[in-house]
Amino acid sequence: MLDNKNRVYIFDTTMRDGEQSPGASMSLEEKIQISRVFDELGVDIIEAGFPIASPGDFEAVTEVSKILKKSIPCGLSRHIKKDIDACYEALKSAKQFRIHTFISTSPLHMKHKLNKSPQEVFEAIKEHVTYARKFTDDVEWSCEDGTRTNMDFMCKTVELAIKCGAKTINIPDTVGYSIPSEFKKIIETLINKVPNIDKAILSTHCHNDLGLAVANSLAGVSAGARQIECTINGIGERAGNAALEEIVMAMKTRNDLMPFKTGINTKLLSKASKVVSNATGFPVQFNKAIVGKNAFAHESGIHQDGMLKNRNTYEIMTPESVGVKQTSLVMGKHSGRHAFKDKLTDLGYVDITDDIIQIAFGKFKVLADKKKHVYDEDIAALVDDSLIKEDNVIVLKSLRVFAGTGEPQKADMTLEVYGEIKKATETGDGPVDATFKCIKKLYPHEVKLQLYQVHAVTEGTDAQATVSVRIEEEGKTTVGQAADTDTLVASANAYLNALNKMIIKRKKTAPEEYKQKQVYQQKKMEGI
């Protein structure tokens, strides 16, 4: 696989390790969308899931494997034969695929997690790497909690894994414990002490518990590792994983000190970030490196003066290089449909239909009359909102909310439910509660609200609010998002978006159950 000594392979684990971040669950449709973007982005290996973990993970790995054109699909397995079998069954439709198998090697994990001796772990590596090798010549082996593993023992396990057929050896900093100098020394020691190390690619997998995931990954590459495992936006368990966009741009920007190359099309990084953020419901913090809203913002007068004279004074990379426009304030109420469509193309919306463009343009005109400034982020929010509503069976037609002191908060709502107009009035413990009660009255359902989150897309008192809602029903989870200058309208649409997704998910996963629920809900709405 390695065709150039300075080529670094990008192994993305957003849909596996990233999804393990609490609340970051993604639907099959969202994983397929993300996979298409990653494939276009130029990710070398996509770890689509942990097939044995759940039927949903198995299905996701299976379906992702079918659609990838350039990226290699990968599934994770423990040192258990049924795990490896599940990986193969999920991946076998792909022309090329990778099985990634792991076992803990640190004294702490071996004693308290595995209850195995070093010799038993040694034997497990021999058995299961050899077994995985029967299904594919692309086997990756990981020593979980590698940075807290005895170095001599690690060298022996790595040598054995390579001898048994592993082509990639991954060294995870599982709990984000290491520092760059230490991690670099680990990689150097493996290169110097493992006799057959030249027959495999060394990989890094660093977590961010000390905020050092990217630094450790780059230290590993400088020492000789040639694969980096990472996630978009740095999502992952606890404090997250090494951020793909930061790693790639660090090597590109400081190529003088890190003369390495990846296959990543950096102009698509911003797009990938937004797709993952929308799928998980996790907003990207404003000051996030590379893809954050403020990454290329300059407010200080001194900085602005410097930028006007020479962009290099305060920018070490161009916003265009990661798919971001330098100037956000470009659209207003006098802009026409042609200019709007051209703007969408600039923002990366190239495959949307004319109907969606028309809907989004109508919303843009309304927003432009409300707001002093319309930003790129505003427009993206409008289009995303229009896209997710395309297949809705429940649509908000009107909402009026009464709030204030001295009396209960009340909501008047009109919904279109399967083409039928329905109206309701409800009071609640606050305007949002009253709004959600109206929805439940007009479309009776039983779901658990797991997340309700509001954040502003742009600055100012006229900013659009983006609301994220996550609901759960019988183990199924969906995330809905919506944006509007009226927070309550955005809240209602976000909840309805999540509910529409749940209806679609019911239909796909349990058609008979879906039909029964339809009948029950219709009777309930009719008062039968």
Q: What is the 3-state secondary structure (H, E, C) of 10-76?
A: EEECCCCCHHHCCCCCCCHHHHHHHHHHHHHHCCCEEEEECCCCCHHHHHHHHHHHHHCCCCEEEEE
Q: Do 244 and 103 share a domain, yes or no?
A: yes
Residue range(s) defining the domain that contains residue 368: 327-388
Q: Do 458 and 381 share a domain, yes or no?
A: no
Query: For residue 14, with 0-12 CB atoms within 10 Å meaning exposed, 13-18 middle and 19 or more buried, which class applies?
Result: buried
C-alpha–C-alpha distance, residues 89 and 84, integer Å = 9
Strand (E) or helix (H) holding 135 = none
Q: Do 26 and 144 share a domain, yes or no?
A: yes
Average pLDDT over residues 260-271: 96
| The 3-state secondary structure of 281-333, one letter per residue | CCCCCCCCCCCCCCCCCCCCHHHHHHHHHCHHHCCCCCHHHHCCCCCCCCECC
Residue 286 lies in a domain: no
Residue 320 lies in a domain: yes
| Residue of higher predicted confidence among 479 and 107 | 107
Confidence (pTM): 0.72
- The pLDDT value recorded for residue 285 is 87
Work out how many domains the chain is built from and give that number: 4
- Please say if the pLDDT value at position 300 is more than 80: no
How far, CA to CA in Å, does 283 sit from each of 64, 265, 273, 297, 523? 24, 23, 10, 18, 39
Q: Do 311 and 246 share a domain, yes or no?
A: no
Q: Do 16 and 140 share a domain, yes or no?
A: yes
Residue finishing a domain among 388, 405, 432 = 388
Q: Do 304 and 405 share a domain, yes or no?
A: no
Report whether 75 contacts 106 (CB < 8 A).
no
Residue 1 lies in a domain: no
Note the pLDDT tens digit of each residue in 120-141. Answer: 999 999 999 999 999 999 999 9
Q: Do 306 and 451 share a domain, yes or no?
A: no
Q: Do 132 and 121 share a domain, yes or no?
A: yes
Percent of residues, the chain, with pLDDT higher than 70: 84
Closest CA to 353 of 389, 404, 307, 400: 389
Residue 287 lies in a domain: no
Note the pLDDT tens digit of each residue in 51-104. Answer: 999 999 999 999 999 999 999 999 999 999 999 999 999 999 999 999 999 999
Q: Do 82 and 222 share a domain, yes or no?
A: yes
- The pLDDT value recorded for residue 301 is 39
Which of 8-17, 163-172, 394-403, 452-461 shows the lowest per-residue confidence on average (mean pLDDT)?
A: 452-461
Token pair for 398: 């009107």
CATH number of the domain enclosing 202: 3.20.20.70
Confidence of residue 384 (pLDDT cuts 50, 70, 90): low
Report whether 197 contacts 191 (CB < 8 A).
yes
401 contact partners, CB below 8 Å, separation of at least 6 = 409, 410, 411, 412, 431, 434, 435, 488
Note the pLDDT tens digit of each residue in 426-452. Answer: 999 999 999 999 999 999 998 999 889
Residue 16 lies in a domain: yes
Token pair for 68: 């990838």
Residue finishing a domain among 308, 324, 340 = 324
